[in-house]
Amino acid sequence: MADVILQVEKLSTGYGEVQILWEVSIQAKRGQLTTIIGSNGSGKTTLLRAITGIIPAWSGRIIFNGEDITNVPAYKRADMGLIMVPEGRMLFPEMTVYENLEMGAYNKRARQKIKESLEFVLHLFPRLKERLNQKAGTMSGGEQQMVALGRGLMGCPELLILDEPSLGLAPKLVLDVFDVVKKLREEGITMLLVEQNVHLSLMLTDWAYVMAEGRVVMEGSGEELEKSDEVRKAYLGI
């Protein structure tokens, strides 16, 4: 059985005085794809921000690779291999593709493997090889998403967190993004995915959680959840 790389235990948090998450518990296993689905406002992105340390936990624990990181600063979590590809890509538009990728290898562990990581990223995204000197801001949305995913991989992630990677992309590019996620899963890269495209997510995922109103309301394998009447009605329009 795969070992657990991330364990979130009864996590509660929010913004200001407004509570968003209520005792959320999830886990991600090494070498697997774990997915979180839920409607807008269900708390998915807030959960990712708490896991990566962007916002503090009010209560509960976050365990990463056997270590309690609940109070560890965000930059140290990144150094430990907890890497997020944020929603909306968040590239440096005036910097070249290469410079954006290089920024992903900022932590000490990743800098030691920058050459191997770049080779892997360019093998995964051959289109970027031709555009290394192009400014990221001049690229299409799909190409920018490739750069964002590549930048995340340059950080040598122990756990790669993907927040809505297909958001705002044309249907063909959405399929391209999921093709990349599938390849990464086959490579054994451990991923935690938050995604609005429920059908494609459940087809690929090893284990999934359904969130509603800041709580986990259901969990199971992708196949189990896709067959669930509740999920089919709420998210698949069936």
pLDDT the model gives residue 67: 95
Q: Evaluate whether residue 179 is within a structural domain.
A: no
Q: For residue 207, what is the enclosing H or E element?
A: strand 207-212
Whether residue 114 sits in one domain with residue 99 = yes
153 conformational bin, left if phi > 0, alpha if psi -120 to 50, beta if neither? alpha
- Asked if residues 110 and 89 have their Cβ atoms less than 8 Å apart, the reply is no
Whether residue 12 sits in one domain with residue 69 = yes
pLDDT the model gives residue 45: 92
DSSP state of 5: E
Q: Under DSSP, is residue 149 helix (H, G, I), strand (E, B) or coil?
A: helix
Q: pTM here? A: 0.91
pLDDT the model gives residue 170: 85
Whether residue 110 sits in one domain with residue 68 = no
Q: Under DSSP, is residue 11 helix (H, G, I), strand (E, B) or coil?
A: strand
89 has a pLDDT exceeding 80: no
Residue bearing the bigger pLDDT, 233 or 6:
6
Whether residue 111 sits in one domain with residue 40 = no
pLDDT the model gives residue 229: 86
Domain housing 96: 88-157
23 conformational bin, left if phi > 0, alpha if psi -120 to 50, beta if neither? left
The CATH number for 49's domain is 3.40.50.300
